Amino acid sequence: MKKNRVFILFLLYIAAIDTFSQNVIATAKLDSNKILIGDQIKLKVQLTYPAKTTIFWPELKDTFTKNIEIVQKSKIDTLSKDVKKFTLNQTYTITSFDSGSFYIPQISFKYKNHGDTDYFEALTDSLLLNVNTIAVDTTKAIKDIKGPLSVPWTFMEILPYLIGIVFLAAIIWFLIYYIRKRRRGEALIDFSKPKLPPHEEAMKALEALRNKKLWQNNKVKEYYTELTEIIRTYIEKRFGIHAMEMTTDEIMTSFGAIDIANNTKMRLSQMLVLADLVKFAKAHPLPNEHDICLDNAFEFVKETKPADIPETQAEQQVSEIKNKK
């Protein structure tokens, strides 16, 4: 009696396992079972299983067999999902470069039922794939293989080369620029302040000379030396006359062809002549003559500066001093 009960329980257990196994269904299907060599075809794999079943989706390699290759795998999609049953799907793109008939082997899905520690297996059917070659008409003559066709270039294809040429030209230009700067002993980038116009530079230098009070401290010769250097430098930059290397007579002769008022030339001449007497003949001008020479220098620069340029601060100060006098 006990043996019969054990046998009945065993049968019920087998029946339960078979019932669970029937609930997990694995299928595989080809779009077609015939392809030409090198063509691609879709293999669709589908698994249906109860909601509380734990499944293990197989990770296939790059080939099913040595004759059938996997080109691409899709992600695993959920086709249906309800409280009791799930259906999953994955598509493989496959191809073959050998002609003949080849079997795609069964795909195994491992799974475990809810509350059970045993593992089970659901298998797809194996599938036959026929790979055919292209039919050749042997009655016709064999022709040469056509060579590659020439295709006109597009702008987007040429653009990288144009950018490369421009970039290379920029590098060459920079190297030449850098070498020339280095040979001249110049800095690659000049961070110095921009130079002032000649008349502004002269006005500032004359104002600085006034503030030094050289002649007031018995430095008369130094006073006139610096005064004439300022004016000669201004003449060189403003008129292009090499005044630093000329005598007073040569400078005045050079101004003969320049359109400047006679009284302006006269002030310049008086200042330069008096400075020569101090520097070379050891003359001792009166104190007011020192100031007159400096005022004449200011006036000369002011009257010979380029037209339509507003007065500088130094020029305004000179005008105010003259007005007070």
Residue for token pair 């019920």: 12
- Would you identify the CATH topology of the domain 2-132? Immunoglobulin-like (2.60.40)
**Which pLDDT score is estimated for 17?**
47
In 10 A of CB 91, how many CB atoms? 16
Number of H helices, E strands in the chain: 8, 11
Q: How is the chain split into domains, by residue range?
A: 2-132, 154-192, 198-324
Instruction: Provide the phi-psi class of 113: left if phi over 0, else alpha when psi is between -120 and 50, else beta.
Output: beta
**Which pLDDT score is estimated for 190?**
62
**Which pLDDT score is estimated for 31?**
92
**Residues 115 and 17 sit within 8 Å (Cβ to Cβ):** no
Task: Write out the chain's pLDDT in tens, 325 residues.
Answer: 555 555 555 544 544 444 444 589 999 999 999 999 999 999 999 999 888 888 999 988 888 888 899 999 999 988 776 778 889 999 999 999 999 999 999 999 999 988 888 889 999 999 999 999 887 777 777 777 777 888 888 888 899 999 999 999 999 998 998 888 788 777 767 666 667 888 898 899 999 999 988 888 989 899 989 999 999 998 988 888 888 888 888 888 888 778 788 888 888 888 888 888 888 888 888 888 888 888 988 998 888 888 765 555 555 555 555 455 4
Residue 113 CB contacts under 8 Å (≥ 6 apart), including other chains: 20, 50, 52, 53, 120
Whole-angstrom distance, CA of residue 112 vs CA of residue 309: 98
**Which pLDDT score is estimated for 15?**
46
Lookup: tokens for 199: 């008349």
Helix axes 287-304, 262-281, angle to 10 degrees: 140
Closest CA to 104 of 83, 126, 136: 126
Helix axes 220-239, 287-304, angle to 10 degrees: 10
**Which pLDDT score is estimated for 169?**
94
Would you call 34 helix, strand, or coil by DSSP?
strand
**Residues 318 and 278 sit within 8 Å (Cβ to Cβ):** no
